[in-house]
Amino acid sequence: MVSFYDAMQLIVDRAEELSTKMSVEDKAEVTKAGAKVFEQALAYEVRNRHYRHRDTGEDPHLADSIVMKNKNIDGVKDGQSVVGWERSTEKGTHTKGYIANIINNGSRFPQFTTRSGRKYKKPGEVAVHADHFIEETRKNPIVQQGILKAEAEAMRKIINRKKKESNL
């Protein structure tokens, strides 16, 4: 007969195996599911607030250039997932992340510079007002619930897979 202590220790060991001792691949699978939901919600929010139907040529619109990576911000696969826009790889280039930052946080000065170096287009021109669409999407309870549901479903699949592996 199993003692009470042994039974409780077995429960704790199984819980640790599925939480703190989870492999990097399993963590990445769970966070990827939540990141996909956030990516869709962010694209929807950008389309609703900042989308104009125009021909952008080869340069995609801000809503169409959101990327999801199954790595951390430094590009290391450690179980985290990142949603956002690509970083600028060349000095002096402005990528979608730069533009999204200006729209999200606003600007102190008008965003205009001529070839001669003049910083303002016309006297009295106003700066970009902050929209905070990224924070609002992140804090939206419906989006948070969707992320948690997606992550819970991914976690459920991992648990079921581990149960099958341990029973075989």
Model pTM greater than 0.85? no
Pairing of strands 82-84, 67-69: antiparallel
pLDDT at 109: 66
**Does 99 have pLDDT greater than 70?**
yes
pLDDT at 77: 92
Average pLDDT, stretch 80-95?
77
Average pLDDT, stretch 68-92?
84
Q: Is the dihedral of CA 59, 64, 69, 72 positive or negative?
A: positive
Contacts for 66 with CB less than 8 Å, ≥ 6 apart: 39, 42, 43, 46, 83, 84, 85
- Locate 97 and state its tokens: 């992340």
Confidence of residue 7 (pLDDT cuts 50, 70, 90): confident
Map out the domains of the chain as residue ranges. 11-167
The C-alpha atoms of residue 105 and residue 139 are separated, in whole angstroms, by 16
Average pLDDT, stretch 129-137?
90
**Does 34 have pLDDT greater than 70?**
yes
Q: Which helix (H) or strand (E) holds 83?
A: strand 82-84
Confidence of residue 157 (pLDDT cuts 50, 70, 90): very high
The C-alpha atoms of residue 64 and residue 10 are separated, in whole angstroms, by 48
